[in-house]
A = this chain, B = another copy of it.
Amino acid sequence: MSRDSLHLLASALCEDSRPMPNGAFAAWFDDRARQHRFVIEPVPFDRLERWRFDPRTGGLSHESGRFFSVDGLRVRQESPRPGEWDQPILHQPEIGILGFLVKRIDGVLHFLAQAKMEPGNINYIQISPTVQATRSNYMRIHQGRSPHYLEYFLDRSRGRVLVDSLQSEQGSRFFRKLNRNIVVETTEEVAVREDFCWLTLGQILRLLRQDNVVNMDARTVLSCIPLDADEASGAGDAEHCVARIERAAGLETGRLARPTSELEAALMDTLTRPVDSPAYAADLRWLAGRRFLAAQTVEPVRPRDMRGWQVTDSVIRHEQGRMFEVIGVRVEASNREVPAWYQPIVRPLSVGLMTYFLRVRQGRAELLVQAKLEPGNADVLEIGPTVQCFPQDENPDDPPAYLAEALDPSFGRCWVDTLQSEEGGRFFRENNHNRIVQVDPDWADPPDENCRWISIHHLKHMVLHSHLLNVEARCLMASLGVGAMRQAN
C-alpha cells in the first residue's frame, strides 16, 4: 500500500469516528434551520418598540441605554486625500465576547460551533462561535436567558485560555467597537445542546469554502488562533509539531498535510515560521508612518443634521444612494434568548469586495495589505486587505489602488472566491466577495505607497495585538491554510 493510500485510509477512518462526520453536516445544518421559525419584517421607526430618537443626542437608541445606538458622525480628512462627509455610525461601547469552547476528542482539537440565527444573515442561520454575547446579553438586560456555555468564558477556572485578544469591528460603521476574541479549552464533559455541534478546525475551514455558512464572528476568532503556539497545542514536542502543522494545513486529523504545490509548501513554511523581529519591526514602522501622516478628525452630529442624508419615518438614507441605509426590523426567532424583538439594522446597498493579493517570494508567502483609514477606528487606521471597498460607491476617476486588477477575472490565480456575510446582528443581508488571488512574485513591487507586502507569519503575529488588523483583513485571513484553499481552484 502506498503512503498516499495509507493517508487517505487514515483520513477516512478518522472522519467516520468524528462527532460530526463531514457527510452528516449538511443534513444537521438544514435540520437546524427547519426546527426554528424566523420572521424578519421591516417596521417604521415609530413602531420600533423601546427604541426612539434620543432628544439629547438625536441618535436612535434603546430606552435602556444599552445595546447600541445609531448616531451621526462628521468626518474631516486632510490626508491622505482631502474630503469631508457625514455618515451614520453605530455606537456600541460594550466589549462583546466572541468565544469558542474547544476540547480534545481522540487527541484532536474540536470547536463547539453553534448554528445561530441572526436577523441580518442570509439563510438566517450560520455557524457561529459557541458564545456570541454583548455585555447587555450576559447581564441579561433584555430579561432573556443567559447564553449557553457563557460560564466557560467568565470563570477562568473552567478551562485553559488559548486565545484572548480584543479586536475591532468595521471602522466604517462602528465607533471604536471592540470584541473579546477568546478560545477556551476544557477537559470537562460538555453536554452538547440543541443547535450546537463539535467541529474540527479543518471542518470549519472546509465550510468556509462555501458561501455564507460560517459567520463573521467565527471567522475573526479563527483568524486569532496562533499557528506556532505550543502553549495552545497543549504539551510536548511531538504533539506540538502535529498541532501546528494541523492548524497551518487546515487538517482535522492531526496527520500531516502534504503540500501539493509551491504555494502550499510556502504557506506551510511561512505559517509555522517564528517571528523575524527586524523585519517585523520594519512592518510596524511602516504602519506608524502611515498613521502619523493620516489626518482625520471626527465629531458627533445629530442624524437629522447630517449633510447629504435624509431621515424619513422608516429609513436613514444617503440622498445619492451611497454607502448604506438604516432601517428598523421586527424579529421573531424561536431559538434565541428572547422570542421576539425590535432593532435598527444597517442595510448595505451594493456588494462589497474584499481581496488579498498573495505572492510567494523566496519561499515565503506574503499578502499585499493597505493602511486603511476609517472614521470609527480607535487608532485612525488599521491594516486592511489589498482591496476593501464597495466598487459601486467608488469614484471611477480616482479608484482605490488595485481595484481594476481585483475586478479583472483573468488577473492572477484565484484560490479563494466566496460570498460572505458580515455581522448578521447589525448588517442586513450583507454579501461581500471574499477573494485570495495569487500574483507573479515581482508584480507590484514596490507597491502603492499606502500598501505593503507583509509575510503571513507577521500578520499572524500582529493579530495577537489589538488595532493592527481590521476585521476585513482578519476574516479573509481565516481562509488561509493549505487544506482550506485546496479545492478553491
Contacts and interface: CB of A to CB of B under 8 A. Distances in A.
Interface of A: 93, 95, 156, 161, 163-166, 180, 226, 228-232, 274-275, 277-282, 284-285, 288-289, 291-292, 297, 378-379, 461, 464-468
A73 B277 CA distance: 39
Contacts of A156: 289
Contact of A278 (B93, B231, B278, B289): B231
Interface centre among A281, A291, A466 (most CB of B within 10 A): A281
A454 to B, nearest CB: 14
B289 A164 contact: yes
Contacts of A467: 379, 466-467
A161 B280 CA distance: 14
Contact of A180 (B163, B288, B465, B466): B288
Contacts of A93: 297
Given A161-B289, A180-B288, A292-B95, A275 B274 contact: yes
B379 A284 contact: no
Contact of A166 (B95, B180, B291): B291
A266 to B, nearest CB: 19
A324 to B, nearest CB: 27
Given A284-B464, A466-B467, A467-B467, A278 B164 contact: no
B232 A284 contact: no
A163 B281 CA distance: 8
Contact of A226 (B180, B277, B464): B277
B278 A226 contact: yes
Contact of A228 (B278, B284, B378): B278
A291 B97 CA distance: 13
A378 B377 CA distance: 11
A379 B167 CA distance: 11
Contacts of A284: 164-165, 464-465
Q: Give 5 nearest A-B pairs by CB, closest first.
A: A164-B285, A231-B278, A164-B288, A229-B278, A165-B288
Contact of A285 (B95, B161, B278, B461): B161
A282 B161 CA distance: 9
Given A180-B288, A288-B166, A291-B166, A281 B466 contact: no
Interface centre among A163, A282, A297 (most CB of B within 10 A): A282
A30 to B, nearest CB: 36
Contacts of A292: 95, 164, 166, 180
B275 A163 contact: no
A229 B285 CA distance: 12
Contacts of A291: 95, 166
A355 to B, nearest CB: 27
B278 A466 contact: no
A290 to B, nearest CB: 10
Given A161-B285, A165-B288, A281-B464, 6 more contacts: A228-B278, A229-B277, A231-B281, A274-B275, A275-B275, A378-B378
A230 B93 CA distance: 41
A164 B293 CA distance: 12
